[in-house]
Amino acid sequence: MIRRAILMATAALLIPAGEPANADVASTLHNFSPSGPGTVKNPNPVGLCTFCHTPHRAEQTRALWNRSLPQNAYGPYQSSTLLAPVGQPTGSSRLCLSCHDGTVALGNVLHAPGQVIAPLPPLQGRVRLGTDLSDDHPVSFVFDDSLALANGELHSPSTLVGPVRLDRNGEVQCTSCHDPHSDSFPKFLVTDNQSSSLCISCHDKRDWTSSSHATSAATWNGAGTDPWPGSSFATVGENGCLSCHDPHSAAEAERLLARTPPEDVCLACHNGNVAATDVESQLLKPEHHPVIETSGIHDPAEDPLNAPRHVFCADCHNPHSVSGATAQAPNVSGRQRNVRGLDVGGAPIANAQLAYEICLQCHGIDEQPSPRVVRLDHVTNVRLETHPGNPSFHPVTAVGTNPGAITLIPPLSASSRIYCHDCHNTDEAPNPSPSTPNGPHGSVHAPILEREYPLVDFVPFDASTYAMCFKCHDEGLLRDDAAFPHKKHLENADAPCAACHDPHGSRASTHLINFLRFDAAGTEVVRPSLFTGRLEYQDLGGGRGRCYLTCHNEDHCPREYDGPDKSFIGDCN
């Protein structure tokens, strides 16, 4: 009894400062005596604390440790976003690893006089961490205010006045989260981790508490793969951080993601089996953001102006902040809250407030490596195409330049603003189902368009063929030659809208005029006038215009449209 009292007192050294040393280890899996509840235990009578502590001949360390301390070289956790230096395990973590690295048998104790210790095997399964700790939450690093300030999303360590405590030297150790003497909470946690209450003791992710992932009551419908294997929690909000992260033996070591490849962390729920909408099916459509094809390239610490070309869910959505809050163009909604971007001047933004800035972080840096079509100015950088300093542009980055735009369908007007995803969206958006996600995840129409929009020449006219344009522009007005010269091109010549108009904008002309030199099939569409050698459009004002070009083997040298009926005049004589 005296020995047990001494051991229980010294065992208190493993418990964070301020915690009582009266936890009942007898009822836990750390009881390897014959009375222990686990399957691995000593068949002969043995002291309850023997496998960890001894009052005599203990290891030269704290807690009268009855095991040889590990001499292994461990591979510590590393990450491009980790600001704390993490080296070899120290303090109580080193004690824990004398069992949990799985290299030494449990029965190998230093001193057990009068007791018969069976050759109990090393730990196996998930509790065996091995010597590679790169897939485990980092330990043995100093957590101080300097680190919290540098990280920006950590609480000050001065707030740790509850069950989560630092080691006596201010380090995070295994015992910061685990109490080896009590399993009052699963996995020997020092407190319940329902709704991430343990994680958020240290982590202070921006807008986490109001985010969908923190508050959602969505549950798994039982189809497909279990998104939370082994969890006792039923909802997204209850699982919290554990919906995506695994603090030990994580499938994706860097950032401790619970699944690999990284996109599977998101798609485990966003396949319609937990989340209401099915994003995964959108990514399998012919036109889609190449999330799967560029797997593993994204890095939160990457240089936004020089990163390898890729796209990942977190490029557009911050999983720690995302919410269902709505917004009006051009502002970001809750689904894109706290995401970085690029402004119209080309400068990176840490927290984009305008939705198009998020798109520009990829589509506004340089020219497309393999453009679908070739236009007169050869510019495919969307930031340059939609720049508010251009003569014309779709009103994404600013209100449009044409105050006389009369073809718009109310409530749209010349002063309206639109989102990129008003055009680039799932093809199911016109007739959505409850499982249809909004946004440019995937479509059957190129390039990820909500509706059909031909990018090749000689397209027989049909209203559905130009459904993308007619979503916002009045079909009747556009086809009325008394107002505009479109009917002659669309219906009489089978020329697509794209032959003359660049839907993003024009750096040289009004009315989005930026002639299509080669279409998506590689066919030459508009070329210089054979008679004059010129290829240009001139806005003459008052609804009048002049073109120098050759199209469909018809030379405009120039061709003007003028007068109340916008009749064409001019020839090559």
Name the residue ranges covered by the structural domains of the chain.
370-516, 528-573
Among 83-87, 173-177, 538-542, the minimum mean pLDDT is found in 538-542
* Residue 264 confidence (pLDDT): 96
Give residue 490's pLDDT band: very low, low, confident or very high (50, 70, 90): confident
Among 142-146, 380-384, 388-392, 490-494, the minimum mean pLDDT is found in 490-494
* Residue 484 confidence (pLDDT): 67
Task: For 181-217, give the DSSP string.
Answer: T--SSGGGBSS--GGGTTGGGTB--TTGGGSHHHH--
* Residue 521 confidence (pLDDT): 96
Q: Where are the alpha helices (DSSP H) in 270-354?
A: 313-316
Residue 11, both tokens? 């065992």
Amino acid at 81: T
Q: Report how far residue 448's alpha carbon sits from residue 443's, in angstroms, rounded to the nearest whole number.
A: 5
User: What dihedral do alpha carbons 505, 318, 141, 194 form, nearest 10°?
Assistant: 180
Closest by CA to 384, choosing from 355, 342, 329, is 342
- Tell me the per-residue pLDDT of 161-200, one tens digit each, with 9 for 90 and over: 999 999 989 999 999 999 999 999 999 999 999 999 999 9
Sole residue written with tokens 């203990």: 58
Give residue 291's pLDDT band: very low, low, confident or very high (50, 70, 90): very high
Closest by CA to 391, choosing from 505, 528, 255, is 505
Residue 207, both tokens? 């807008």
**Cis ω before 308 (30° cut-off from 0):** no
* Residue 21 confidence (pLDDT): 41
Give residue 97's pLDDT band: very low, low, confident or very high (50, 70, 90): very high
Closest by CA to 109, choosing from 262, 7, 20, is 7
**In sequence order, what are the beta bridge partners of 331?**
354
Asked whether the predicted pLDDT for residue 433 surpasses 60, the reply is: yes
Of the chain, the percentage scoring pLDDT greater than 70 comes to: 93
Number of neighbours of residue 48 by Cβ within 10 angstroms: 20
Give residue 482's pLDDT band: very low, low, confident or very high (50, 70, 90): low
Give residue 22's pLDDT band: very low, low, confident or very high (50, 70, 90): very low
**β-bridge pairing 442-443 and 516-518:** unpaired
Asked whether the predicted pLDDT for residue 251 surpasses 90, the reply is: yes
* Residue 479 confidence (pLDDT): 79
SS3 289: coil
* Residue 168 confidence (pLDDT): 86
Asked whether the predicted pLDDT for residue 307 surpasses 60, the reply is: yes
Please give the average per-residue pLDDT across 7-36, as a whole number.
Answer: 65
Asked whether the predicted pLDDT for residue 159 surpasses 70, the reply is: yes
Asked whether the predicted pLDDT for residue 62 surpasses 90, the reply is: no
Residue 101 to residues 68, 166, 192, Cα–Cα distance (Å): 13, 22, 25
* Residue 3 confidence (pLDDT): 44
Q: Report how far residue 390's alpha carbon sits from residue 377's, in angstroms, rounded to the nearest whole number.
A: 13
Closest by CA to 513, choosing from 424, 403, 404, 391, is 391
DSSP 282: G
HSE-CB for 417 with a 13 A CA cutoff:
15
HSE-CB for 105 with a 13 A CA cutoff:
11
Among 22-36, 283-297, 324-338, 413-427, the minimum mean pLDDT is found in 22-36
SS (H, E, C) 99-134: HHCCCCCCCCCCCCCCCCCCCCCCCCHHHCCCCECC
DSSP 561: E
* Residue 404 confidence (pLDDT): 82
Cα-flanking dihedrals φ and ψ of residue 317, to 5°?
Answer: -130, 135
What is this structure's pTM? 0.90
Residue 298, both tokens? 């994204």
SS3 316: helix
Residue 85, both tokens? 């230096």
**Cis ω before 300 (30° cut-off from 0):** no
Asked whether the predicted pLDDT for residue 7 surpasses 90, the reply is: no
* Residue 477 confidence (pLDDT): 84
- Tell me the per-residue pLDDT of 310-359, one tens digit each, with 9 for 90 and over: 999 999 999 999 999 999 999 999 999 999 999 999 999 999 999 999 99
Please give the average per-residue pLDDT across 60-89, as a whole number.
Answer: 92
Give residue 563's pLDDT band: very low, low, confident or very high (50, 70, 90): very low
Asked whether the predicted pLDDT for residue 463 surpasses 90, the reply is: no
* Residue 24 confidence (pLDDT): 83
